[in-house]
Structure 1
Amino acid sequence: MSIVFLNNEFMPMEEAKISPMDRGFLFGDGIYEVVPSYDGKLVGFGPHVARMQEGLSLIDIKLNWSTQQWRDVVEQLIEKNGAGNLGIYLHVSRGTDSKRYHAYPENVTPTVYAFTFEIPQAAVADKTKAKKYSVNSNTDLRWKRCHIKSTALLGNVMHFQQGHSAGCNETILFNDNDELTEASSCNAYIVKDGIIATPPLDHQILPGITRLILLDILAKDGSLTVEERIVTRKEVESADEIWLTSSSKEIAPVTILDGKPVGSGEIGDVWLAAQSLYSLGKYNY
C-alpha cells in the first residue's frame, strides 16, 4: 500500500482527499516537482527544491518551507515506500477557497501533497542496453511562461498525446520561427560534428534540473563542446544525434524523428560519452 503525504500527515494513498474547491483542482493553480531517487539516493534534490520555491514565488503562493523540511518529507516517503528506484512527486496548490473566483484569494492555506512512484533503474552508458526513442515534431502551442513548472499541464499533455497517438515516445516542439524549444516533457539537444547544442533558457523552455546537472558536468569535464544557442528545425532534421533529458529519462537518445532515422539511426558516440559522465556525477547535486 502506497504511503503519501498530504498537509502534514502521512497516510495510505486511498485515504488522501482534497476539497473539490481546491484551486489546484479548479484552475491548475499550483507548482510541482519530480525528484528521482535510486536505492534511496536523491538526484538534484537541492536544485529541484530551489526551482519549486522560485515557481511558488512567481505565482505568489506563500509557503515558508525550508529545503530541510522538504528533505525530511521526501526521505520519510522513500523509507515508507520501500526505497528502491522511486520518483517523488511534490505538489503545492494555492489551497481551498469558498468560491470559484479567478483572482488570488487571501488567507487560504496552500495544499501540500507528495507521493512516490516506481521509475526505471538508472540509465547506464551502454549502447546495447539504452532505450532508443522515437519522436515526432509539431509547432509549440503552449502558453508563454513555460519556465514556470505549473501543474496546469494541458498544453503539454496535448502535445505528448500527439506523439503517443503517432506511436512515438515524445513530441519535440518548434516555435513560429521554426526554432527548437523543447519536447512536451523534456529538454532537447542536437549533436552535429561532435558539438552539442541546446536552446538557451527563456520563457519558452523549462529550466530542467537534469539539463542543469548535465551542462554543469560537461562544463567541468571539458572534453565535450556545448553551445547554448538558437537551434533551427533544419539543424534538428540534419543532426547526427538528438537527445532528450528529464529527471526520469536522464539522457534519452532519439534515433527516429518524424519516421526518419536520426543520423545513422543508431545511438551515437557523443551520447555515450555524455551519459558516462552524467552517470558518474549526478549524485553530487
Structure 2
Amino acid sequence: MVNLNGSLLTEANSKLTVNNRGYNYGDALFETLKVVNGKIFFWEDHYFRLMSSMRILRMDIPMNFTMEFLEAQILKTLEANNLLQAAARVRLNVDRGVGGKYAPSKDAIVQYNISVEPHDNPFYTINTDAKYIVDLYKDYFVAPGLLSGLKSNNKAIQVIGSIYAKENDFENCLILNTNKSVIEALNGNLFLVKDGNIKTPPLEDGCLKGVMRKQILEILSKDVNITIEEASISPFELQKADELFITNVIKGIVSITKYRKKQFGNDFAQSLVKKLNAKLRLL
C-alpha cells in the first residue's frame, strides 16, 4: 500500500498524473528513512532538512506538515504494509503538485506520497568479507552551491554514474565538483581516514547535507583523540588514505576496500559503527 496525500492505495491505484511537476520538472524533494519497530531513525534531522529544502525551493509548506503529522502518516503506511514491527526503508516524497510550466501556477499545491519496503537489518553492520571497489566518475561534475546539497529528484548524475559503475563492475563511484574536488559517493557522504585524522568534504563543495553525515560528525566530535576536518579532498589524497568510507541512513557506514590499486582496511569504521549503534539504543 502507498500513502498518497493521506489516502492508502494499492500501487496500481496510486498513479500520479503526467502533469505532476515532480515528473515534468523534477520539482520535488525526498527523504529516505530507516524505520525499525516503528522508530524512525533520526526523524527530527530528516524533518528539518526537508523543511529547509522546501523553503530553499520556495515551496508553500502546508500548515499540517508538522513533524507529528508526517510521522503519523509514515507509521500508518508501515502498519498498512505489515511493517510496523519490522525493519523498513521508507521514501517520503514531496512535490509541488500540478500546474504551470517552469513557473508554478497558482493552482499548484504541494503534495506528498509515502512508499515503504522491508529492510533486512535493524542495526548497522560492516561486512568485513565483502569487497567494495570504487572509482571516480568523471563524465560530469557537480557545481558547488546550495542547490547541490538538496535531496531533490534531480539525480541525473547519480543515475548515469550508477549505470557506469554497474557496467565496469564497481560497487560505487565517487563524484567530483567543477573544481575537481571529490565531494561524495553516488549514494552517500565520503569520509577519509589518515593517521587517525578524519576528513570529509564541506557542504560548500556541493555534497549532500547528509543526515548520517551529521550523526558521524557528532560522534567523532566527542573523541578528544580525533582531529576532524571539513575540507576539500583532492583525488590524489584518496590513494594515500588509510581508510575510506561512505555514510548514508540506510546502510550506516560502508567501508571502501579498493580504489584504483590501493587496498584499504576498515578498523576505524568498525569501531565507529559500534558507537553509532550505541547511539541508536539511546534514541
TM-score (norm 1): 0.89
Tell me if the contact between 2:126 and 2:253 (Cα under 8 Å) persists in the aligned partners.
no
Larger mean Cα displacement after TM superposition, 120-129 or 43-52? 120-129
Partner of 2:119: 119
Partner of 2:78: 78
> Structure 1 pair 127/224, CA: closer, same or farther in 2 (3 Å)?
farther
Larger mean Cα displacement after TM superposition, 208-217 or 137-146? 137-146
Distance in 2 (alpha carbons) for counterparts of 1:224 and 1:273: 13
The AA in structure 1 aligned to 2:244 is I
Partner of 1:55: 53
Partner of 2:262: 261
CA RMSD after TM alignment: 2.0
* 1:68-96 per-position Cα deviation (integer Å, ceiling 9, x unaligned): 11111111122222222211101111111
TM-score (norm 2): 0.90
Partner of 1:102: 102
Partner of 1:92: 94
Partner of 1:15: 13
The AA in structure 1 aligned to 2:229 is E
**By how many angstroms is 1:107 displaced?**
2.9
> Structure 1 pair 223/69, CA: closer, same or farther in 2 (3 Å)?
farther
State the SS of the aligned residue for 2:141.
Answer: coil
Say which of 179, 182, 188 aligns to 2:181. 179
**By how many angstroms is 1:233 displaced?**
1.2
Q: Show the 5 A alignment for 1:240-259.
A: 240-258=242-260
**By how many angstroms is 1:32 displaced?**
0.6
**By how many angstroms is 1:18 displaced?**
1.4
Tell me if the contact between 1:127 and 1:272 (Cα under 8 Å) persists in the aligned partners.
no
Pair 1:208 & 2:207 matched: no
**By how many angstroms is 1:39 displaced?**
3.0
Extract unaligned runs of 5+ from structure 1.
none
**By how many angstroms is 1:41 displaced?**
2.4
**By how many angstroms is 1:8 displaced?**
2.0
Tell me if the contact between 1:137 and 1:172 (Cα under 8 Å) persists in the aligned partners.
yes
The AA in structure 2 aligned to 1:19 is T
Partner of 2:272: 274
> Structure 1 pair 108/224, CA: closer, same or farther in 2 (3 Å)?
same
The AA in structure 1 aligned to 2:61 is L
Larger mean Cα displacement after TM superposition, 193-202 or 103-112? 103-112
Distance in 1 (alpha carbons) for counterparts of 2:111 and 2:155: 18
Distance in 1 (alpha carbons) for counterparts of 2:52 and 2:131: 34
Sequence identity of aligned pairs in percent?
22
Distance in 1 (alpha carbons) for counterparts of 2:280 and 2:134: 26
Distance in 2 (alpha carbons) for counterparts of 1:224 and 1:123: 25
Alignment coverage as a number of residue pairs: 276
